[in-house]
Amino acid sequence: MDCGTLYEIRDGILRLLPAQEFIAPLTRKEQAARDVSAASQESHFSEWENAVEVSAIMDGKSLFLDKRILDLACGTGRITTHILPHAQAMLSVDLSEESLRILGQKEGPCGKLGLVWADATQLRLLPAAFDLALSTQLLEHLPSIEERMRFLKSVHTALKPSGVFVLTAYYYSSLRRLLRRSPEGFHSNGIFYHRFTRGEIESEFSGMFQILCAKPIQVDPRLIRAFGPFAKRLAKVSERIGVQSLVGQLLYVRAQKREAAFAAQLYDQTAAAHA
Ligand SMILES: C[S@@+](CC[C@H](N)C(=O)[O-])C[C@H]1O[C@@H](n2cnc3c(N)ncnc32)[C@H](O)[C@@H]1O
């Protein structure tokens, strides 16, 4: 870095967060909750949930091959560890220092994983440094459109021309809409979430990214948990018959960086439309 600021590296983690600007109160709350629950974070995901999400992401396995990957909100590395063996290098960022520490211990000093403690909505990265950005289950926790736009802008800057952004985010399914469930709320630990429709993702991304694929995945586990030992098989069958639009809980999105000039113009228009 040639900005004149020195940042500390402790336990293999680059500590940008203490020098970042104001962190929104809801984000601070999430940070505290994630630090407390880091050790048990991955136990909240069942084996089949992981399998469905990982398989959607790894569907384009060649996407990750020998690529420089920016991994935003890596948590304890539930998804990172599947991608890392294919990557040339990976920079994994999270708000929770404790989660990063756990990921660091899992991977050890492998030489191709960098860990950064930072708010991903305030990252200032070297332009066009990454082939691909990955972000699983972060977008829904960014508490406002302004933060999401700031986040998308820094991903856009960090990607090379035609770079790809792969992500998953909570989905606002037809069933939830029929049942008049609110698309927004708080988990029991106080963490904010927003469930997205495909249309919302398309509208928020359109200024900077072209959506290549946006599909609901992962049937809501509450619907199949009752089937006990058959739940995993039932989940597989339901993915195949395609009921996720109705009852899916995640959106899998693959998007491509738009050309900078076009993006800047559309970014201004999108920001104005949401102002
Ligand atoms: C549901 S977890 C997902 C973790 C991991 N990507 C996965 O799929 O298992 C959400 C993660 O987002 C991180 N996070 C939330 N807001 C963030 C922000 N503004 N900047 C960086 N990380 C953030 C949290 O600390 C947490 O680790």
Each residue of 26-74: pLDDT tens digit?
Answer: 999 999 999 999 999 999 888 888 988 999 999 867 899 999 999 999 9
Ligand 1 mean position, distance from CA 148 (Å): 13
> Which pLDDT score, from 0 to 100, does residue 235 have?
77
Residue 22 has pLDDT above 90, yes or no: no
- Closest listed residue to residue 234, CA positions, set 250, 222, 245: 222
Who contacts 183 (Cβ-Cβ below 8 Å, separation ≥6)? 172, 176, 194, 195, 196, 197
Residue 91 has pLDDT above 80, yes or no: yes
**Is 4 within the bounds of a domain?**
no
1 band by pLDDT with thresholds 50, 70 and 90? very low
Note down the domain range covering 131.
9-273
C-alpha 255/C-alpha 202 separation (Å) is 10
**Is 37 within the bounds of a domain?**
yes
- Beta carbons of 134 and 72 less than 8 angstroms apart: yes
Residue 196 has pLDDT above 70, yes or no: yes
CA dihedral for 177, 270, 130, 35, sign (positive or negative) = negative
**Is 23 within the bounds of a domain?**
yes
DSSP line for 201-239: HHHHHTTTEEEEEEEEEEE-HHHHGGGGGGHHHHHHHHH
- Beta carbons of 102 and 158 less than 8 angstroms apart: no
- Beta carbons of 73 and 94 less than 8 angstroms apart: yes
The protein residue whose alpha carbon is closest to atom 8 in ligand 1 is: 136
- Beta carbons of 178 and 168 less than 8 angstroms apart: no
- What CATH number has the domain bearing residue 75? 3.40.50.150
Q: Which atom of ligand 1 lies nearest, measured to the CA of 78? A: 9
261 band by pLDDT with thresholds 50, 70 and 90? low
Terminal alpha carbon distance of the chain: 34
Ligand 1 mean position, distance from CA 44 (Å): 14
Q: Which atom of ligand 1 lies nearest, measured to the CA of 99? A: 27
Report which residue type is found at 247: V
**Is 1 within the bounds of a domain?**
no
Task: Look up the pTM and report it.
Answer: 0.91
Helix residue ranges, H only, 73-173: 80-83, 97-107, 145-158
Q: Is 202 exposed, middle or buried (0-12, 13-18, 19+ CB in 10 A)?
A: middle
As for how many domains the chain has, the answer is 1
**Contact 92 CB / ligand 1 (< 6 Å):** no
Question: Listing from the earlier edge strand, what are the strands of the sheet with 159-170?
Answer: 9-10, 13-15, 113-117, 89-94, 68-72, 130-136, 159-170, 248-257, 209-219
Our measurement of the distance from residue 213's CA atom to the centroid of its chain's CA atoms, rounded to an integer in Å, reads 16
**Contact 191 CB / ligand 1 (< 6 Å):** no
CA distances from 71 to 35, 197, 213 (A): 18, 23, 19
